[in-house]
Chains A and B, each alone.
Chain A
Amino acid sequence: MNEHDNTFDLTDSILRVFGIIGFFTAVIFGFVVAGGNVITLVHPAEIIIVVGTIFFGLLCTHRSKFLAYLPKAFLALVRKPVANREYCQISDNARGYAAAGGGMAVILSLICTMSNLDDPESVGLRVAAAMSGVFVAMLLSQGLFVYLRYSFSENASR
């Protein structure tokens, strides 16, 4: 299990980074090709809710293990990590918190929209903001945490 501990596989790292960058580029590029403005994807309020839910949810569930996990997770984006059940578990829980954060972002946008219905101009924008929360949650959950969960699993080391 520890045989991958100190080996650095250049091809593996290049493919890894290429895959991750490609994944996010494909999504954003497709959005731009469809005529979308990338700025409209960025809604700080939604990002705070989603990312905050994931971060603090994991912090209270796993505490110091989560803090130890953070640098390992960043490192796992560029090189093959050692299989670790704890980190695999944290990545899986992060998926759950991403879903919860996305759900809450939608619900809160719903409340926000409902309480400002007399301003029809802003309704469309608020709905777009709600959708961007779902987008951020999905991108993190499917793009990042499914990848991390697999990278930290024993299956990836076989």
Chain B
Amino acid sequence: MNLVSLVWFLLFCPFLLVFLLRLGNSHGHDACPFCDTKRKRDEMNCEECGFEFMEKPQGPFPWIFAGGALLCVLSLVTWIKCQQYL
């Protein structure tokens, strides 16, 4: 149980990372960060200024990352409990 929860925790860590990084992306996914032109679906370059977008407007389903992040935290709690630190 001890190791299992640790392994799960480490496996879900990247989800937590992606979730946290996306959380702070203030600029939304529908406007150009440089010239603020509204961006069309599936457009990877800004029409106005040629800015290259990093993410697709509708990226991978955000709930997958939210769920992964939650599982990451839960497995961490389980692991700490197994260590009888709590």
A interface residue numbers (CB < 8 A to B): 83, 85, 88-89, 92-93, 95-96, 98-99, 102-103, 106-107, 109-110, 113-114, 117, 123-124, 127, 130, 134, 137-138, 141-142, 146, 149-150, 152-155
Contacts and interface: CB of A to CB of B under 8 A. Distances in A.
A107 to B, nearest CB: 7
Nearest to A102: B17
B6 A123 contact: yes
B33 A149 contact: yes
A98 B17 CA distance: 11
Interface of B: 3, 6-7, 9-11, 13-14, 16-18, 20-21, 24-27, 33-36, 49-52, 54, 83
Given A103-B18, A155-B36, A110 B24 contact: no
Given A85-B50, A146-B26, A106 B34 contact: no
Contacts, number: 83
B10 to A, nearest CB: 4
A141 B19 CA distance: 13
Nearest to B31: A155
Contact of B24 (A102, A106, A146, A152): A146
Contacts of A102: 17, 21
Contacts of A150: 33
B14 A106 contact: yes
A124 B14 CA distance: 18
Contacts of B54: 92-93, 95-96
A134 B13 contact: yes
A134 B50 contact: no
A150 B25 CA distance: 12
B74 to A, nearest CB: 15
B9 A153 contact: no
Contacts of B7: 114
Given A107-B14, A138-B21, A154-B36, A117 B3 contact: yes
A153 B35 contact: yes
B52 A89 contact: yes
Contacts of A123: 6
Nearest to B22: A99
Contact of A134 (B3, B20, B83): B20
